[in-house]
Amino acid sequence: MNSEEHGILLDDSSSSLPREINLNNLLGNEVFIDWFLPRLKLIKEIQRWPQEKINEFTEIRLRNLLTHLNNNSVFWRARFNEYFLDLCSPDIFAELLKLPVVDKTTLIKWSDDMLVTDYRAKTSDYYTSGTTGVPLRVRIDEFECIKNEMVYIFEPDAFESRKVDELLRRKFIFLLGRKSTGQYVPYSEYFPFDTFSSIGDKKTREKIYSKILNDSLIYLFAYSSVILELMKYVREDGVKLPVIANLSGEAVSSEEEKFIYETTGIPIIFSYNCKEAGKVGEKCQANIGNNFYHIYRERVLVEIVDDDGQQLENDEEGDIVLTVLDRTTMPIIRYSIGDRGRILSKLCSCGRLSPLLEVQGRKNDNILLPDGSTFNVLLFRPLFLKEIGLKNIIKYQIIQKEIDSLQINFVTPKKISFEKLKIIETILENNLKKKVKVNIREIGHIENYQSGKNKMFVPLGEYKKSNI
């Protein structure tokens, strides 16, 4: 790592972002743009750095993070002492592994105790979705967010042909049904959904089309299911929307990804992220249609662990655990995100050297069978879509109401015969070893959650809690 790279990545005095920069003065700010562009160039190059060079950088960042927490937080200092961390050890990665893996329940229990207060910093509180369990409050330092995370908006290949400095001078992001958080605020227009509007309403769609086309909003940011639903209507309406679609918040099948890609005609972006950690990785265009994400190694350490919290080797599946190197207000250290996955040994054909993380989905993304076995819903959904035809569905939701009962609600642009639905039910039941009865219902409307998300799968435990 040369001196220029060291200065940019570790934010030395000669290349640091002025503290007065904030979300209110970010749009078109020439000081910020001059600081930002070299950083973006380097972040793109980092994806092709060998792991040895990455380790040199992340070792410094991890040591700096743990030392900062030890010096500025009674809570973290006590925790490090409890597990005998030696912050002067030559192997800081080994010291990190002394700490046990924690989960969402632990962070909720720790609450304010784990937060590290910097009274110079403006912070915002966000909450993880309550649809997946107890909401977790996440506190984010606005300045840290601008300095460390905004660059990842433009890292994907879809922005290669765009003049980023021009985009930073105008609003270019269209937030469909999702309110802006953090770095998106200065550059975005928000289009809300409520009980009186939905994508199924033609007047609402016309407003969406007009806003995108008239204001040149090229980056469409929404939950995956919302973008999928919109693109089905885009085809039906015969409209051309040349937007970069960002799919996040929900998994979609390979057929659905390809459908969106073919509808826009522009490479899509699929991020792997969460509110607690920010962006963890991104798909490249070589991986459209599968669940492989390039890990942002320079900002997050990703581990795969077994049920006892012990690290697994590459290609072994386990729980995904994260340590974020650039968040200090609410530190995320050896945090089990709730997803299953594995880090692949093989490198991607795109030329990046950042490893591939294969995400298997959330632990509860499984259809439970009466004999105690499970069937992953990410495998079940493509079976349903293949049999019924993606073009015949605008929106759908799979609900496990009982251990031996599965209901699939769907909205369709045209009537599907009763006989065909019965045949599809039988095919799906056969795939579930005839242990679960499948009931497919054609309905007129499926409500989104208040957040704008359409929950494509409601597992048994969640259904019983919410009584959908």
Any bridge partners for residue 366, and if so which?
376
Is residue 87 within 8 A of residue 70, CB to CB? The reply is yes
Confidence of residue 377 (pLDDT cuts 50, 70, 90): confident
pLDDT in tens, 209-248: 999 999 999 999 988 888 988 998 999 899 999 899 998 7
What's the pLDDT score for residue 4?
A: 75
Q: How far apart are CA 396 and CA 383, in angstroms?
A: 13
CATH topology of domain 1-156+267-360: Rossmann fold (3.40.50)
What's the pLDDT score for residue 149?
A: 92
Q: Which of 76, 31, 382 is nearest to 85 (CA)?
A: 76
Q: How far from chain centre, in Å, is Cα 277?
A: 9
What letter would DSSP give residue 53? H
Structure tokens at 318: 């386990």
Q: What is the mean pLDDT of residues 315-330?
A: 96
Q: Domain 366-466 in CATH: superfamily?
A: ANL, C-terminal domain (3.30.300.30)
Structure tokens at 10: 């570790």
Q: How far apart are CA 215 and CA 209, in angstroms?
A: 10
pLDDT in tens, 141-166: 999 999 999 999 999 988 987 899 99
| Percent of the chain predicted with pLDDT > 90 | 58
Tell me the residue type at 36.
F
Q: How far apart are CA 426 and CA 432, in angstroms?
A: 10
- Strand ranges in 392-467 using DSSP code E only, listed in sequence order: 395-402, 405-411, 437-442, 457-458
Q: How far apart are CA 340 and CA 361, in angstroms?
A: 6
Tell me the three state secondary structure of residue 287: helix
Tell me the residue type at 344.
L
Q: How far apart are CA 168 and CA 174, in angstroms?
A: 14
Q: What is the pTM of this model?
A: 0.84
Q: Look up tokens 């503290």; give the residue.
A: 19
What's the pLDDT score for residue 81?
A: 98
pLDDT in tens, 23-40: 999 999 999 999 999 999
Rg of the chain in Å (alpha carbons): 23
Tell me the residue type at 231.
M
Q: What is the mean pLDDT of residues 1-10?
A: 77
Structure tokens at 207: 């407003």
Q: How far apart are CA 33 and CA 25, in angstroms?
A: 12
Q: What is the mean pLDDT of residues 178-196?
A: 78
Q: Label the pairing between strands 405-411 and 437-442.
A: parallel
For 408-438, the DSSP string reads: EEEE-SS---HHHHHHHHHHHHHHTTT-SEE
Please check the confidence at residue 439 and state whether its pLDDT lies above 90: yes
Instruction: Identify the residue with better confidence: 112 or 3.
Output: 112
What letter would DSSP give residue 78? H
Task: Give the phi and the psi of residue 303 in degrees, each rounded to 5.
Answer: -120, 155
Confidence of residue 199 (pLDDT cuts 50, 70, 90): confident
Please check the confidence at residue 468 and state whether its pLDDT lies above 90: no
Q: How far apart are CA 215 and CA 460, in angstroms?
A: 43
Tell me the three state secondary structure of residue 450: coil
Q: How far apart are CA 188 and CA 455, in angstroms?
A: 25
Structure tokens at 291: 């669940």
Q: Residue ranges per domain, the chain?
A: 1-156+267-360, 366-466
What's the pLDDT score for residue 131?
A: 44
Q: How far is CA 57 from CA 22, 63, 227, in A?
A: 27, 10, 37
**Beta sheet of 335-343, edge-to-edge order:** 188-191, 173-176, 219-223, 244-248, 269-274, 278-282, 292-295, 356-362, 335-343, 318-324, 300-305
Largest CA distance in the chain: 71
Q: How far apart are CA 322 and CA 445, in angstroms?
A: 38
